[in-house]
A and B are shown apart, each in its own frame.
Chain A
Amino acid sequence: MGRAFSGTMTVMRGETRIRRPHSRATGVSGGGEPTGQPPPSGQERNPGTPLDLDLIRAIRVNRSAVERRAATLPRRRTVKKEWQAAWLLRAITCMDLTTLQGDDTPGNVLRLCAKARAPLRRDLVDALGVADLGITVGAVCVYHALVPTAVTALEGSGIPVAAVSTGFPAGLNPFPQRLEEIRASVEAGADEIDVVITRAHVLTGDWPALYEEVRAFRDACGAAHLKVILATGELATLTNVARASLAAMMGGADFIKTSTGKEPVNATLPVGIVMTRMIREYAERTGHAVGFKPAGGIRAAKSALEWLILMKEELGDAWLSAARFRLGASALLTDIERQLEHFVTGRYSAAHRQPMV
């Protein structure tokens, strides 16, 4: 990552000139067909739709082509200097700062919450001239047992608390218990619930079962936002990922999320491409904007930028804020801080210079 800022200062010999004046009418037909255009930005929640099995079954994803897109996307786009700094700040505001360990205690969750409120060293905030932006993370994500601690610690900050739920990470607890778990976390003050699906429903192609499961989770959430973790590392194929994404959105997911962080393979760009394309497809067909959350294994500032690039390219600017985009991470924040310090000082920084998460 540091490489992006290294080397001699380059002299620009001709600027990229992209003028984006008024948009021209695209002359696209309507009639329920997707339009290729994102829906108007709105903050209303996705209510879900009836299950459209025909649409789900018709989806085909070509893995090689998607991987090619994934390989070239970060080569086609990059941000440097001020742009990179600004994008990294944006990444912080989209971060679900997370701890999901068996040895979590109120102590380390309190530390996490303090970091969530002030993710960046004060001197860096000032040097970047962004004090007015009030940069905080997107949410704090913990196990149910730590929800009360987090709620208390974040009181008044406006930072939502997310709880992982429904027998996280395997999701194989008795179904009534899983619903009860959601209700308990909402009761405890969680604003967002990250649920896991029954992977078997996907692997056996039982889309009605998956749909009903998500519907029930959504009902249990009430006003809390529902993030549906597909655990893509266990879904075998990208076509399964695409179909599960659609079923989850039809079931009323506010966000679809890649991974628990506990599967052998977590968030990858090919999976992200498939899921964001399904979000686009769903938005074009229904007008409902569903958010996306890659999680697991995102540790480098460079990866954060790649995910932002993916969102901007596949879904557009409307998906570049915490309302529709979250990065599930913990160690990532430290790396972003290091990069921002490098931007400010011109010197490569060290992790120990950043306040510990």
Chain B
Amino acid sequence: MTTSVARIFETMEWGPAPEASGPALDWLKSHGGELGHFIGGRWVPPAAGETLEVINPATRAVLGRVAQGSKADVDAAVAAAGQAFPAWAALSGHARARYLYALAREVQKNSRLLAVLESLDNGKPIRETRDLDIPLVARHFYHHAGWAQLAATEFAGYGPIGVVGQIIPWNFPLLMLAWKVAPALAAGNTVVLKPAEFTPLSALCFAELAQRVGLPPGVFNVVTGDGRAGALLVEHPDVRKIAFTGSTEVGRIIRKKTAGSGKKLTLELGGKSPFIVFEDADLDSVVEGVVDAIWFNQGQVCCAGSRLLVQEGVAGRLVAKLRARMEKLRVGSPLDKAVDMGAIVAPVQLDRIRALVDQGRAEGAEMWQPSWACPTEGYFYPPTLFTDVSPAATIAQVEIFGPVLVSMTFRTPAEAVALANNTPYGLAASVWTENINLALDVAPKIKAGVVWINSTNLFDAAAGFGGYRESGFGREGGREGMWEYLKPEWEGGRGKGEGSESVPLAVAAKETTLPSSPSPLPPIDRTPKLFIGGKQVRPDQGYSRPVRGRDGRVLGEVGEGNRKDVRDAVEAAHAAEGWGRGAGHLRAQILYYIAENLSARSDEFAARIAAQTGATAEQGRAEVDAAIARLFSYAAWADKYDGAVHHVPIRGVTLAMHEPIGVIGIAAPDTHPLLGFVSLVAPAVAVGNTVVALPSTPYPLSATDFYAVLETSDLPDGVVNIVTGDKDALVRVLAEHLDVDAVWYCGGVDGARMVEEASAGNMKRTWVPGGRDWLDPRRAEGREFLRHATQVKNIWIPYGE
């Protein structure tokens, strides 16, 4: 001891600061080193007898074995959750709040055990699990104990969905559990959780805590195993919702697998998040921001700031500072309290990182790594910086999911935004500038669910987290996250599409004459066209389709739209995106004006409805009146669907902004040719989306008549586009279109399945809003529609001078 103190006095080097792993290993030993599933409140061995090794990636030591879930296991877990659901859902919010509160307390009481276990299993530094993961887990349960308490009043009219299947990743095992389990239980759902195969331990330890607090058996179940167990859960018919966090690749598969099942879905997927540095930023603080962005959790973070975009004039200085900082980072045993980075979770991930880095070098980017070497006994990778990276480079486009940063330069704020958005992803962004005007100008322009101003990787239970674009949909955290685990109480058990939507087709009459006219003169042909970009245009193919009334007589003809017409309509809708940046007041004025102009022609519209559908004149009139009222409702909403300021534990504000989704494809219901169309188009445009609308296939004339109303109402060109034809054929083009951001579909079950399946191409949002009484404003208008028409962007703005 004595000589070493004198020696260290001279060198002033770092020494080891190990955290004890004993208690965590003892916990594993208490289960005989082998853990079963947790089903119905009991430990259950795998039905098929298959088990998996759990490895410590920092040492390659085997920590223990867990069960591989088989069909029988998943069935048993879903059955247990289904059995527990009615009683759990029927509990008062206060009672559920007590359970969640107890879970939060239990997590705190066992915080070090969980932190060590997580570090052993995942390879992440104990410093992170101790200071970030586990405290945030407790925070999530506290916060959602609050939502359970308030659910009956704050979410009146909504209730739980049922059995929820949750599949979580290996990068933040227990934190992702908390993000999913806490809101699900608070809302009254029961859960079957499938942890990642690499990191099942903390979920199982949490199950034991749940047992200890007396959570009713079956409310929370864990089935461990690899992707096979996850797939079984996704496909299980009694699971009413799937919540998944993981890769976009697997997210796409899940989207396709659940298509047409009526299962609700939230996906938190990958990212390639920009970290934007303007020339007036505090560069030394930027450097620490980068450390927290990409060298946090070894870069295995879905929202990692992995693309560094630097204003050209300061790029040289920043890179020099970054390299100096990287030289001081420490990689080592995750249980050492003084390391910055631990181990990569598994060899497969390490191989992927290495391959991508090799590719980056092969493609000509300059790679830089610190001079020191990583430990060799586990799966370690050093912090890595690429400069001279072009947007075309593979490493600039794909998610590396490792401690690898790629940097590029930009000249202007506009170019920074363009580069930031030059990705299929849209999870998060970080913006560094001391100019508040610049920061608040750029933040709304970035396509991302979270924007951190002069900060990065801040998380809190009170603020929603989730993606735009192919980073998935749905939010976790905050009020916005609770909606993902609720459904309107009036909605039936399954709700797969519209069900009884189909309209009996009129029998084709023999004569195909034009409508008769009381005038002695022959009637003037009146063939509606498509409405694209504010213009009436003929269909690309030059075909028309007849529209027959209930009596079989031809009422008129409409254009037979095709994929090129849909393409043109989507282009026109994009060209009109300025609509969403304008004031809500302006949109309100135009919606009122549309209502006014519709009202002036209400007799004509009523007659047309009656002629098409066989409704009585009175019913036709009622539908027109309802459509006018609906337009008024959304005119009213246009400047009232406010966002929120979340209470997060920083000195600053977190703005939850409601942003339009973008271009929404709408396949209107076949029934209620006017009201159905208006009920979907109006909320979409009220909050700033632009729309490509496909009217009712049998009764398209109310929609085509409607464009004349739009034309006289000052609606900017391209905000609403209407393409007539075979709705299901056209909606496929919309659902497959990679530049359409959402599709709302009313129609049959097969159509709904097709739309949901095709949406996986760019992970566009889908909604099947059918199966409701369009005349009932309690079900057919309001916040539910506005929620689907918007996505929440959380902008974190720390302040203080």
A317 at the B interface (CB under 8 A): yes
Known: A62-B454, A129-B3. A76 touches B14 (CB 8 A): no
Q: Which of A84-114 contact B (CB under 8 A)?
A: 85-87, 89-90
Instruction: Kindly supply a per-residue 1/0 record for chain A positions 18-32, scoring 1 wherever the CB is within 8 Å of any chain B CB and 0 otherwise.
Output: 111111101111000
A130 at the B interface (CB under 8 A): yes
Instruction: Kindly supply a per-residue 1/0 record for chain A positions 58-99, scoring 1 wherever the CB is within 8 Å of any chain B CB and 0 otherwise.
Output: 001111111111001001111111110111011000000000
| Bound-complex Cα distance A82 to B285 (A) | 32
| Bound-complex Cα distance A283 to B729 (A) | 69
A12 at the B interface (CB under 8 A): yes
Cβ B14 vs Cβ A18 within 8 A? yes
Cβ A65 vs Cβ B650 within 8 A? no
Of all chain A residues, which has the CB nearest B13?
A83
| Bound-complex Cα distance A8 to B798 (A) | 40
A55 at the B interface (CB under 8 A): no
Q: Which residues of B contact A21 (CB under 8 A)?
A: 371-373
Instruction: Kindly supply a per-residue 1/0 record for chain A positions 195-238, scoring 1 wherever the CB is within 8 Å of any chain B CB and 0 otherwise.
Output: 00000000000000000000000000000000000000000011
| Bound-complex Cα distance A66 to B454 (A) | 10
Report the minimum CB–CB distance from B202 to chain A (whole Å): 18
| Bound-complex Cα distance A11 to B333 (A) | 13
Interface size class of A (residues with CB under 8 A): 35 or more
Cβ A28 vs Cβ B320 within 8 A? yes
A345 at the B interface (CB under 8 A): no
Cβ A64 vs Cβ B652 within 8 A? yes
Report the minimum CB–CB distance from B518 to chain A (whole Å): 76
Known: A82-B15, A129-B5, A130-B5. A16 touches B336 (CB 8 A): yes
Stretch at the interface among A34-42, A141-149, A169-177, A248-256: A34-42
Report the minimum CB–CB distance from A58 to chain B (whole Å): 8
Cβ B372 vs Cβ A89 within 8 A? no
Q: Which residues of A contact B778 (CB under 8 A)?
A: none
B282 at the A interface (CB under 8 A): yes
Cβ B455 vs Cβ A65 within 8 A? yes
Cβ B323 vs Cβ A239 within 8 A? no
Of B285, B333, B340, B376, the residue contacting A62 (CB under 8 A) is: B285
Report the minimum CB–CB distance from A195 to chain B (whole Å): 27
Cβ B9 vs Cβ A86 within 8 A? yes
Q: Which residues of B contact A26 (CB under 8 A)?
A: 320, 323-324
Give the interface centre of B7, B284, B327, B799 by most chain A CB atoms within 10 Å. B284
Instruction: Kindly supply a per-residue 1/0 record for chain B positions 278-311, scoring 1 wherever the CB is within 8 Å of any chain A CB and 0 otherwise.
Output: 0011101110110010000000000000000000
| Bound-complex Cα distance A79 to B9 (A) | 12
A33 at the B interface (CB under 8 A): yes
Of all chain B residues, which has the CB nearest A276?
B284
Of B5, B58, B337, the residue contacting A86 (CB under 8 A) is: B5
Of B9, B316, B375, the residue contacting A130 (CB under 8 A) is: B9
Q: Which of B18-48 contact A (CB under 8 A)?
A: 18-22
| Bound-complex Cα distance A56 to B330 (A) | 33
B167 at the A interface (CB under 8 A): no
Known: A13-B21, A60-B282, A89-B9. A83 touches B15 (CB 8 A): yes
A44 at the B interface (CB under 8 A): no
A128 at the B interface (CB under 8 A): yes
A127 at the B interface (CB under 8 A): yes
| Bound-complex Cα distance A129 to B9 (A) | 11
Q: Which residues of A contact B324 (CB under 8 A)?
A: 26, 35-37
B509 at the A interface (CB under 8 A): no
A15 at the B interface (CB under 8 A): yes
| Bound-complex Cα distance A287 to B31 (A) | 61
Give the interface centre of B286, B322, B330 by most chain A CB atoms within 10 Å. B330
Instruction: Kindly supply a per-residue 1/0 record for chain B positions 356-373, scoring 1 wherever the CB is within 8 Å of any chain A CB and 0 otherwise.
Output: 000000000000100111
Give the interface centre of B5, B7, B13, B434 by most chain A CB atoms within 10 Å. B5
A327 at the B interface (CB under 8 A): no
Report the minimum CB–CB distance from A202 to chain B (whole Å): 14
Report the minimum CB–CB distance from A270 to chain B (whole Å): 10
Q: Which residues of B contact A15 (CB under 8 A)?
A: 16, 332-333, 336
Report the minimum CB–CB distance from B284 to chain A (whole Å): 5
| Bound-complex Cα distance A85 to B15 (A) | 11
Report the minimum CB–CB distance from B384 to chain A (whole Å): 14
| Bound-complex Cα distance A87 to B6 (A) | 10
Cβ A313 vs Cβ B317 within 8 A? no
Q: Which residues of A contact B335 (CB under 8 A)?
A: 13-14
A322 at the B interface (CB under 8 A): no
| Bound-complex Cα distance A62 to B799 (A) | 9
Known: A11-B20, A64-B651, A65-B454. A129 touches B1 (CB 8 A): yes
Q: Which residues of B contact A33 (CB under 8 A)?
A: 316-317, 320
| Bound-complex Cα distance A76 to B20 (A) | 17
Cβ A64 vs Cβ B798 within 8 A? yes
Cβ B5 vs Cβ A82 within 8 A? yes
Q: Which of B42-59 contact A (CB under 8 A)?
A: 58-59
Instruction: Kindly supply a per-residue 1/0 record for chain B positions 520-534, scoring 1 wherever the CB is within 8 Å of any chain A CB and 0 otherwise.
Output: 000000000000000
A10 at the B interface (CB under 8 A): yes
Cβ A14 vs Cβ B8 within 8 A? no
B352 at the A interface (CB under 8 A): no
Of all chain B residues, which has the CB nearest A69?
B288
Q: Which residues of B contact A237 (CB under 8 A)?
A: 801
Instruction: Kindly supply a per-residue 1/0 record for chain B positions 773-801, scoring 1 wherever the CB is within 8 Å of any chain A CB and 0 otherwise.
Output: 00000000000000000000000001111
B232 at the A interface (CB under 8 A): no
Report the minimum CB–CB distance from B315 to chain A (whole Å): 11
Report the minimum CB–CB distance from A130 to chain B (whole Å): 5
Q: Which residues of B contact A353 (CB under 8 A)?
A: none
A312 at the B interface (CB under 8 A): yes
B664 at the A interface (CB under 8 A): no
A54 at the B interface (CB under 8 A): no
B109 at the A interface (CB under 8 A): no
Report the minimum CB–CB distance from A246 to chain B (whole Å): 13
Report the minimum CB–CB distance from A308 to chain B (whole Å): 8
B77 at the A interface (CB under 8 A): no
Q: Which residues of B contact A83 (CB under 8 A)?
A: 8, 13-15
Report the minimum CB–CB distance from B376 to chain A (whole Å): 8
Q: Which residues of B contact A78 (CB under 8 A)?
A: 17, 337-338
| Bound-complex Cα distance A80 to B368 (A) | 32
Q: Which of A293-343 contact B (CB under 8 A)?
A: 308, 312-313, 317, 320
Cβ B127 vs Cβ A75 within 8 A? yes
Report the minimum CB–CB distance from A158 to chain B (whole Å): 17
| Bound-complex Cα distance A124 to B6 (A) | 13
A122 at the B interface (CB under 8 A): no
Q: Which residues of A contact B799 (CB under 8 A)?
A: 64
Cβ A18 vs Cβ B18 within 8 A? no
Of all chain A residues, which has the CB nearest B4?
A82
| Bound-complex Cα distance A90 to B8 (A) | 10
Q: Which residues of A contact B376 (CB under 8 A)?
A: 17
Report the minimum CB–CB distance from B696 to chain A (whole Å): 54
Q: Which residues of A contact B434 (CB under 8 A)?
A: 60, 62
Of A20, A29, A36, A133, the residue contacting B6 (CB under 8 A) is: A133
Q: Which of B334-350 contact A (CB under 8 A)?
A: 335-340
Cβ A20 vs Cβ B371 within 8 A? yes
A277 at the B interface (CB under 8 A): yes
Cβ A320 vs Cβ B12 within 8 A? yes
Cβ B9 vs Cβ A16 within 8 A? no
A132 at the B interface (CB under 8 A): yes
Q: Which residues of A contact B455 (CB under 8 A)?
A: 64-65, 68
Cβ B285 vs Cβ A86 within 8 A? no
CB<8 Å pairs between A and B, sample of 25: A10-B18, A10-B19, A11-B20, A12-B18, A13-B333, A14-B18, A14-B59, A14-B335, A14-B378, A20-B371, A22-B371, A24-B371, A60-B282, A62-B285, A64-B799, A78-B337, A79-B15, A82-B8, A83-B13, A83-B14, A86-B12, A127-B2, A128-B6, A129-B5, A308-B12
The 5 closest A-B pairs by CB, nearest first: A129-B2, A83-B15, A16-B332, A65-B285, A36-B324
Other A-B pairs beyond A14-B58, A79-B17, 15, CB < 8 Å: A10-B20, A11-B18, A11-B20, A14-B18, A16-B17, A16-B330, A16-B333, A19-B372, A19-B373, A36-B324, A64-B798, A77-B14, A77-B338, A78-B338, A85-B5
